[in-house]
A and B are shown apart, each in its own frame.
Chain A
Amino acid sequence: MTSLDILAAAVLNGLMSGAVYALIAVGLTLVYGVLHIINFAHGAILSAAMFAAYLAFQAGVDPYVAMVPLALIFFGLGYGLQRLVIGPASHGDDRNILLITLGLSIVIENLLLAVFNSDTRTVDVAYGFSTLDLGFTFLALPRAAAFGVSCLVAVLLWILLAQTDTGKAIRAVAKEKLGASLAGIDVAHIYAVTFGLGAACLAIAACLLLPTYYVHPRVGNAYVLVAFTIVVLGGMGSIPGAIAGGLFVGVVESLSGLMFGESLGQLGIFVIFILVLLIRPTGLFGAKA
């Protein structure tokens, strides 16, 4: 195989991973855009979602079938979490929200640990080893599916925000909380809806990851630091930014891993992250603050 083929395959790999990163980041950036805080429990919720998908699989439900019900369940959980815990406990102070989401991440992770132990679990789906022969490489079917569904969900979310009343309310709250509440929008409700949407994205991502990845109580952390990077890169609060950022990071990670080794490839992501934060904290796609 030629070096061009490898390059093409690596870019393709990067896009496949990047789409799932983007989906995880979209949830994070949505919450940031509206609540103006980084949700540090994002990774833990992803871990929880992966366990939920795992349990569904154990009960005989294919992860792809479980996707929609789980998304609804996690929407409900996210809604409840914001409405009943984060909102009331933080008294509206940003710094409190920061600490509470951190506290929640500790609680969720360790409860998962208490229930499931620290074993690494994997599922073996029938299509786990199916591939598409693209000539220069074999593309694993579950990864292609993850790419497709991630893009679809991102587009759906985009339409939801642009076209529906709820979407308009979310955008209104994101822009001007006080004004929105004066206009009769229930801000607490919109906050919770946003949080719920973020959690639902994670549930979908979890179902997409399960056929090719493993599950254990800290699995979400492997993704959430990347998601932070993408959110910052794409501009905190910007959904198109998160999608572009996700694909970009996926490809950069893949190529730098190929060139500098997987371990230092990780470093590349963080260096980009720090540089963007320092030089242009509003992100490459974000509006000027």
Chain B
Amino acid sequence: MSVARAYGAIAIAALLLALLPVMVQSNTVINALVTAMIIALAAQGWNLLAGYGGQFSFGHAAFFGAGAYGNAILQTRYGINAYAAMLTATAIGAAVGAVIGYLSFRSGLRGSYFALITLAFAEVFRIIANATPFTGGAAGTLIKLQVSAANFQFASRAIYFWIILAIVTAVMFLMRGIERSRFGAYLVAVRENEDAAAALGVDTLDVKLKAIMLSAAMTALAGAFYVQYFLFVDSSIAFGTWISVEALLGPIIGGLGTVFGPLLGALALHFLGELAKAVAGRVLGIDLALFGILLVLIIAFARDGLQGLLTRLARLWRARRPA
């Protein structure tokens, strides 16, 4: 794939999405898009570690929550500016990733074991956040509503959308860069066969650590943005299993280990969820049941998810056209 093709597709997709708020002025739609983008960003983080690196985390909430609480607490307790707080919160997320990664990878945890330990860390954080006064305890932490660009609070929801879209786009460029880099190649090598990669001289611990730090940073930024958008966080929002599950549903449905997978998946999930509601009416849980079935079906029949489906369709289309 040429450089232009590799990055161009991302740029075009981003531009098209960026035009949405201009075309549809409904805040309902824009709000939905912002939420979808937050999930997409968290999902990009998960996808880097799991889709490319093969380390399946079931506890990305640990990083999302670190970013969310980090941002909220830095602003409310220490009066730090919102922009600085978000950046710091992202760094905190990376640090949490480094600690969890170092501990578990050093102990050689993989597969089920790694999934379990990430789950346990997220749960421990949730219990602690729910119990300590520092995080606002069970009442959570509320950022004061003071609409002003200096506080990263905007009257227009479209601005939030453009910012989160810009972040997601930047992350996608980064992911494309990683895909084409030596680091990316090592990461895939670790996924395919860790022992073989190590035998070939890849420092697998180092590769996995870098991956989890980057992954955690992305998901933490999603958490920080979540708080900045809703101005409220509590322990079950921050460290609840919901975000761990959504961060992995998106990439799997969109296309595991692909740059577009998390974005496609997050948008598709939103759309499907509402479709399910429209069709099945207000039956509790029917949309999530559907997602679960979709997840099983995709793993059974289409490992590369929607992204793969689109690629195949495109190939079919090109094959049909006389050259």
Give the distance in Å from the alpha carbon of A225 to the alpha carbon of B121 in the complex: 12
B117 touches A270 (CB 8 A): no
Q: Which residues of B lie under 8 Å from residue A109 when comparing CB positions?
A: 285, 288
Among listed A9-17, A48-56, A259-267, interface-contacting one: A259-267
Q: Which residues of A, 227-268, contact B by the 8 Å Cβ criterion?
A: 228-229, 232, 236, 263-264, 266-267
The distance from the CB of A188 to the nearest CB of chain B, in whole angstroms, is 16
A277 touches B117 (CB 8 A): yes
A277 touches B120 (CB 8 A): yes
A95 touches B111 (CB 8 A): yes
Q: Which of A32, A104, A118 contacts B284 (CB 8 A)?
A: A118
Q: Which residues of A, 53-108, contact B by the 8 Å Cβ criterion?
A: 85, 88-91, 94-96, 98-100, 102-107
A106-B295 contact, Cβ under 8 Å, with A38-B116, A114-B286, A278-B104: yes
A270 touches B299 (CB 8 A): no
Q: Which residues of B lie under 8 Å from residue A99 when comparing CB positions?
A: 56, 248, 252, 295, 299
The distance from the CB of B171 to the nearest CB of chain A, in whole angstroms, is 23
A285 contacts chain B at the CB level, 8 A cutoff: no
Give the distance in Å from the alpha carbon of A172 to the alpha carbon of B288 in the complex: 38
Q: Which of A40, A105, A277 contacts B113 (CB 8 A)?
A: A277
Q: Which residues of B, 78-129, contact A by the 8 Å Cβ criterion?
A: 103-104, 107-109, 111-113, 115-117, 119-121, 123-124, 127-128
Given A277-B116, A277-B120; 10 other pairs, CB 8 A cutoff: A88-B300, A100-B295, A103-B292, A106-B295, A107-B293, A110-B284, A264-B131, A267-B124, A274-B120, A278-B107
Could you list 28 A-B pairs, sorted by A, with CB under 8 Å? A89-B296, A95-B56, A103-B295, A103-B296, A104-B292, A106-B289, A106-B295, A107-B296, A109-B288, A110-B285, A110-B286, A110-B287, A110-B288, A110-B289, A111-B285, A113-B284, A113-B289, A114-B283, A114-B286, A114-B289, A225-B123, A228-B116, A266-B127, A267-B128, A270-B120, A274-B120, A278-B103, A281-B113
B residues with a Cβ closer than 8 A to A are: 54, 56, 58, 103-104, 107-109, 111-113, 115-117, 119-121, 123-124, 127-128, 130-131, 245, 248, 252, 283-289, 291-293, 295-297, 299-300
